Amino acid sequence: MRLAVLGAGAVGSSVAELAGDYGHTVTALADSRSAVLDPEGIDVGSALDRKEREGVVGDADPEEALAGTYDVLVEATPTTLGDAQPGFGHLRAALERDRHVVFANKGPVAERYADVRALERESGGTVLMEATVGGAMGYEHVLAEAQDLGVAEADPSFDVEGTDAALKCTILANVLAEGGREYTLEDATVEGIKSLPGSALELANEDGRTIRLIGEVSDGEVRVGPRLVPAYGALAVTGTRNIVQLETEHAGQLNVSGRGAGGPETATAVLADVDRLDS
């Protein structure tokens, strides 16, 4: 498939770098200020080198990437709230041209899910979003390190205030509702971990427990907040590791865990979506 990648941060760069390994061609790469395009495939390495040296990937206008040659638009610009722009506009432009859209950006699918699906229905393109829900990470004391590693949200308050977890749970709630009801961030009850006293973790420890930021989606409710969990239990994941726990009717509890952040890790979710479109 031919990919136009919007966003050249940790995720967009990784998607562009790994696309070739998965048999795809990157025909456009754009950051917020510039773009590089070639219908035959751009030179990803030199575009990212230039980004590092000069702060831009190329000489073209970023809007040109939207109008170029591609089968799939990979939307990996930073998550924004409210009107979810410019991500939502990028979606609309691609779907109007009957192109597929794969989101890494959580904004449009969390904040305007019904609009996204309505535009998709009118288009020959398909919208996928696996990369938007890898789990949730948090905790102020690992935040500095996380930012060094490039795995924290562009806006760090998204992590510590629980917004990132709430966005992911909102997306999950929409997917689970299968169009039966639309959820936005306003439907979520969100409590972050910023105001949690240090003594809380010590008290939890004495009791064989620890504290994690947990998002819950059930029976039409979306709740995010610090929760006490068993210190050695499945939910006590560390580092950038996330876990999704599903309570099923007949199959009991299913757990899926893996790294919930990081450029290459998130890029594999984007490229798995691209493969789904290809088959």
The binding site for a second copy (CB under 8 A) comprises: 14, 18, 232, 234, 248, 250-259, 262, 264-265, 267-269
Residue among 57, 89, 50 nearest 73 (CA): 89
Cα 230 from chain centroid (whole Å): 28
Instruction: Give me 111's structure tokens.
Output: 């904040």
Q: Which is nearer to a second copy, 90 or 259 (CB)?
A: 259
Q: Which is nearer to a second copy, 199 or 253 (CB)?
A: 253
Instruction: Give me 159's structure tokens.
Output: 């992590």
Q: Which is nearer to a second copy, 172 or 244 (CB)?
A: 244
Q: Which is nearer to a second copy, 24 or 259 (CB)?
A: 259
CB 171 to a second copy: min, Å: 19
Q: What are phi and psi of 66, to 5 degrees?
A: -65, -35
* DSSP code of residue 217: E
CB 21 to a second copy: min, Å: 8
DSSP secondary structure, 166-213, as one string: HHHHHHHHHHHHTTSS---GGGEEE--STT--HHHHHHHHHTTEEEEE
Q: Which is nearer to a second copy, 184 or 257 (CB)?
A: 257
C-alpha to C-alpha distance for 258 and 245, rounded to whole angstroms:
12
C-alpha to C-alpha distance for 202 and 225, rounded to whole angstroms:
18
C-alpha to C-alpha distance for 160 and 194, rounded to whole angstroms:
6
DSSP bridge partners of 94: none
Pairing of strands 35-37, 25-30: antiparallel
C-alpha to C-alpha distance for 173 and 57, rounded to whole angstroms:
36
CB 253 to a second copy: min, Å: 7
CB 57 to a second copy: min, Å: 21
Q: Which is nearer to a second copy, 125 or 262 (CB)?
A: 262
CB 138 to a second copy: min, Å: 19
Contact between residue 166 and residue 141 where contact means Cβ atoms under 8 Å apart: no
Q: Which is nearer to a second copy, 53 or 250 (CB)?
A: 250
CB 128 to a second copy: min, Å: 16
Instruction: Give me 150's structure tokens.
Output: 């490039």
SS3 category, 269: helix
CB 15 to a second copy: min, Å: 11
